[in-house]
Amino acid sequence: MEATRLTNTGVIMRRGIAALGVLAAATALAACNNGTTPSSTSSDSASNDAVATLTIWADDTRYSQVESLAEDFTAKTSVKVNVVQKSESDMDTEFTTQVPTGNGPDLIVMAHDKLGALVANGVVAPVDLGEAKSQFSDVAVKAVTYNGQTYGVPYAVESVALVRNDALTTDTPTTYDDLISSGKASGAEYPFIIQMGDKGDPYHFYAFQTSFGAPVFKTNSEGEYTAELAMNGSGGTEFANWLKAQGDAGVVSPSITGDIAKQKFLDGAAAYTVTGPWNVAAFRAAGMKVSVLPVPAAGSQAAQPFVGVQMFYQSAKSANPVAAKQFFNYLATPEAQEEMQKLGGRASAMPEVAAKSDDQDIKDFAKVAESGALAPAIPAMGSVWNFWGQTEANIVSGTETPAEGWATMITNINNAIASK
């Protein structure tokens, strides 16, 4: 995925915190923020942190955004920050190996879908959102929660949506059939275009899959994902049959890659596409008039695209925990959230901040995300993507039949999960 999307899909797939932990030094921080004089012990701790440099790892896409935010943070607090640019492809792996040695950063910024693996490896520290928790959206809080504990501070939410070329049509389809009919009536070469590629793309197709009542995993009584698949019932088979029908109709094809789908839409050859804010920015830059709409259902249930949440994690071995807490206090303010929203072009994890944006795309994507499904962050998800995507592509291309191909996929995924 692109840098701002979920990070482990294999698919060309952001009021101050009252108490951010239980360290005694947090008391000193609160005292400093209130303009009072802390005790000598706390003062020494805070002083040591103040002269230290907070290190943050960010990938290629987020680097400049985080660097700008860090400059503002330093100007407000005098805490120095060193933002280190890392490659998205292996940043999480490097973080996992470096933290135990004490050579990792204090903080790292990534999508929430890495959370389960990071917790399992013991490399991230719990973070208490305190009073700020109520200001974040439910999906954002859920994203930073694992086994009942919160880890890190969210700053953005994102998902795909239906994007319409307003020069070709002004319809707002509420069902997939309406979408195709509207697209055909527009006279476009592609009534609807969606990326798949020869490896498949479950991320972009997930909204349609959920409309058949086939979410990827089941959830427990707390609403958290379990490692038990939920797409192995009749809904999954119905979705597989639908995929085959779309392939036969020439609407969906493994030959349509992300680059092709984007370019065809840019060329005005498609009336609709399913994509995220990363491509809408390019459409706007090209002078296109587009609208961001909810993904219409292909089945009888609501279509729920995956929702990804961008967040800052704290290393379990941070050498500067007080400065890290101070940064989190800053990040959990509407002002910092608004700044990241402007810098990254993604809806803030605080709904009130997103609602006040003067960018209509941000508002519309935020609305779509509200009714989406949080992408699983459990380690078992790593066993799903490849089988899932390849099966979808094979069904569309005809190398596997829908029912048998889907059943084989379920078996392969369950075996992979069991082997971990």
On whether both 279 and 150 belong to a single domain, the answer is no
pTM of the model: 0.87
Neighbours of 116 (CB within 10 A): 21
Residue 3 lies in a domain: no
Domain residues for the domain of 85 are 25-158+307-374
What are the start-end ranges of the E strands in 78-224?
A: 80-86, 107-111, 145-146, 149-150, 153-159, 161-165, 217-219
295 and 170 in a common domain: yes
- Predicted confidence (pLDDT) at residue 282 exceeds the cutoff of 60: yes
pLDDT tens per residue, range 397-406: 999 999 999 9
Q: Which two tokens stand for residue 272?
A: 């609709």
Looking at residue 6, what is its pLDDT?
Answer: 58
Residues 203 and 144 placed together within one structural domain of the fold: no
113-146 per-position pLDDT tens digit:
999 999 999 999 999 999 999 999 999 999 999 9
Residue 15 lies in a domain: no
Do 280 and 319 lie in one domain? The reply is no
Average pLDDT value over all residues in the chain: 90
What number is the average pLDDT over the span 11-22?
36
Residue 303 has a pLDDT of: 98
| Three-state SS annotation for 184-238 | HHCCCCECCECCCCCCCCHHHHHHHHHCCCCCCEEECCCCCEEEEECCCCHHHHH
Task: Summarize the confidence of residues 171-176 as an average pLDDT.
Answer: 98
285-341 tens-digit pLDDT: 999 999 999 999 999 999 999 999 999 999 999 999 999 999 999 999 999 999 999
- Asked if pLDDT for residue 385 goes beyond 50, the answer is yes
Query: Do 254 and 185 share a structural domain?
Result: yes
Indicate whether 198 belongs to any domain: yes
